[in-house]
Structure 1
Amino acid sequence: MSLRRKPESVLLEGAIASESAAEIASKEFFELCKLEAITSAFETSSKFDVDHSDNNLSPIDLFITNTKQLNKLVTGDYTPVLGNLILLGYVSAAESYIRALIRKLIHCDEYISALVSEKSVSYAAALHHKKEILPEALLEDFSLASPYNVFETLKELIGMKGNRPNPLILPSQEFKKVCELRHCCVHRFGKLGSKNAIRLGLATHTKSLEKPILLLAEDVDKIAFIVDNFVRSINNYVFKFLLERSVKNKDDSGGVCYEVEWLWVYAKDKKRFNKYYKIFSSKEDVYKSMTLRAAYEKFCSALKPEIPNLPERKAKVQKKNPAQGAQ
């Protein structure tokens, strides 16, 4: 059966003309649509690229790579329906970024690993997932297609605390609008439902109820910018939050989050700092991230305590005062 059907009127006329009186007589009263039998099952197991690899891309580079593919779809043959599909793709790319970020952080950050250690995954995931992607199974029941859901997930799985920070408020508000449009595309073929209208602002959207989205090419560009801005804002903020927590090294109960303290010497901290840097930095962006060394130096300048309580410092004190160390 070809997916490229003839126009409905031609198909209907042809179907009526080609059916015999006996065929028409054999129909039930409800058979108003010509129905073709499914003669073979759609085999989904062969529809995935099993040789695909993300090539150890950071989550932000994975997002950038995915959205570059979407950008290629905006061509001279652009149509509003294509715009709806690109919108879906952008929100999906943002969701994929969040999932990749959390997965990598669970492997990288010992405090986050402890936070999720008691959470359950399905038996199938435990049995068949490779170790490096097993954390993805934790997110199977999480919906990430709204800024609220994203932040609640980050609170639950990586331990973010408090209200949404000011730098993320405006990007979140704009991303929320895109998510409402995405909901229209997924569930109503682009038409605006009442709940979506309420969230977008009923006073300004009443006339648009049950009307389809009409995205121009420039609208798609703006949507791309909004989603990109939201993801980059999340990327920078979570990086900042985790490093600040690692320096403070105290949880809400006063317990220690990390066994290792920062030594504030590049050669000694490089390995630990690089674990985070690799997750949040970009090589695929037009403006590549600052170097590992430059990022570390800025980290020290911003967060290094004035009088650090370091294991190395303690060792030096004990060497100078062996009698005191023996007490």
Structure 2
Amino acid sequence: MATSNVSADYSAITNIGLLGISPCPDTVSLFDCNYSEVSTSAVDIYIENCREINKLWAGSSSVSPEFSRLLLLGYVSAVESYFRTIISTVINTDDKARADAHTYTISFGAVLFQNKQSMAEALLEGISFASEEAIRKAFLKFLAIKDIPEDIKSLLLEFEKICHMRHCCVHRFGKLGTQNGIALGLERHKRVLEKPLTLGKDALGDIASWLMSFVKAINNFMFRTLLDRSNSDKNPYKINWTWNYSKDRAIFLRFYKMFASIKDGTPSPSINELYQRFLLARKPRPKAPGN
């Protein structure tokens, strides 16, 4: 016969262990307070981040589906971090981008606690880089890039597909939901709805390699765009290039340092070489006699 004074907790269908005794760890202690940003380009930071992710699995003979999803999260996160780093760097460095940002608002907390150099990153709070449309809007708002070439648009759309797979990993433990299936093409993906993403080692490597090429292509596009804009009569902050390397070097170096890579397997050409290419392409040609 049951004892009448024993409490019958009929909610206890699972054993919750020490949840009421052990609080969540102190969040401050979980971050590296001694970390300081290295002085390098956004693309080199991206390359280094990817190399750290590669160390987790490149030496393994196989990768479990669960682990491959986590690795995919890391690679896409590294891409989004690249976008935030390069856009904030441009705002801090380029006169036109900085002037355009004067009217944008940031949170009061950012004003109180962010240092001056990282204020630009606070402008990107709440900005997503997980879709072609979101990236285009960010380019327009922060970099005044209106016309994106078709090849870059195509790359952004391909990147969006990877972001939809990442979305499955973040929110549904890898399973493909209807909304992501629609975005990827429901006719082709209908048979894998509610099925989990399973990335083998080769497929994961292909995605990681594609993302690396994608970031480099975006990096080249932005470098060229800013250099072209610097020489445009429509730019109120147009740079008066002398087309003499020794005189222009200090200014050109500002652009070069934002986008150049020393970490890549094929490092960037020298600043002098790229300046000479810029000069050949953009230096005004003398008018022919009689014109």
TM-score (norm 2): 0.92
- Which one scores higher on RCO, CA 8 angstroms, separation ≥ 6? 2
Answering whether residue 23 of structure 2 is matched by residue 38 of structure 1, we say: no
Give the aligned residue type for 1:284: K
RMSD: 1.9
Q: Distance in 1 between matches of 2:229 and 2:162?
A: 31
Q: Which residue of 2 aligns with 1:305?
A: 284
Give the aligned residue type for 1:184: C
Is the 8 Å Cα contact of residues 177 and 194 (structure 2) preserved in structure 1?
A: yes
Q: Which residue of 1 aligns with 2:160?
A: 176
After superposition, where does 1:208-287 map in structure 2 within 5 Å? 208-251=192-235, 256-258=236-238, 260-287=239-266
After superposition, where does 1:4-43 map in structure 2 within 5 Å? 26-36=7-17, 37-39=19-21, 40-43=23-26
Sequence identity of aligned pairs in percent?
36
Structure 2: tracts of 5 or more residues without a match: none
Is the 8 Å Cα contact of residues 147 and 176 (structure 1) preserved in structure 2?
A: yes
Q: What secondary structure does 1:139 align onto?
A: coil
Q: Which residue of 2 aligns with 1:106?
A: 91
Give the aligned residue type for 2:44: D
Q: Distance in 2 between matches of 1:82 and 1:174?
A: 23
Q: Distance in 2 between matches of 1:249 and 1:52?
A: 42
Structure 1: tracts of 5 or more residues without a match: 1-20, 309-327
Q: Distance in 2 between matches of 1:130 and 1:38?
A: 38
Write the deviation string for residues 275-309 of structure 1: whole angstroms up to 9, x where unpaired.
0100100000000000000010000011111149x
Q: Which residue of 2 aligns with 1:289?
A: 268
Is the 8 Å Cα contact of residues 283 and 289 (structure 1) preserved in structure 2?
A: yes
How far the C-alpha of 1:26 sits from its partner, in A, is: 2.4
Answering whether residue 76 of structure 2 is matched by residue 91 of structure 1, we say: yes
Answering whether residue 127 of structure 2 is matched by residue 127 of structure 1, we say: no
Q: Distance in 1 between matches of 2:200 and 2:129?
A: 26
Q: Which residue of 1 aligns with 2:174?
A: 190
Give the aligned residue type for 1:34: N
Range that drifts further, 87-96 or 173-182: 173-182
Is the 8 Å Cα contact of residues 167 and 233 (structure 1) preserved in structure 2?
A: no
Q: Distance in 2 between matches of 1:227 and 1:68?
A: 13
Compare CA radii of gyration and give the structure with the larger one: 1
Q: Distance in 1 between matches of 2:62 and 2:267?
A: 32
After superposition, where does 1:32-71 map in structure 2 within 5 Å? 32-36=13-17, 37-39=19-21, 40-71=23-54
Give the aligned residue type for 1:226: W
Give the aligned residue type for 1:126: V
Q: What secondary structure does 2:123 align onto?
A: helix
How far the C-alpha of 1:77 sits from its partner, in A, is: 5.6
Q: What secondary structure does 2:187 align onto?
A: helix
Q: Distance in 1 between matches of 2:237 and 2:226?
A: 11
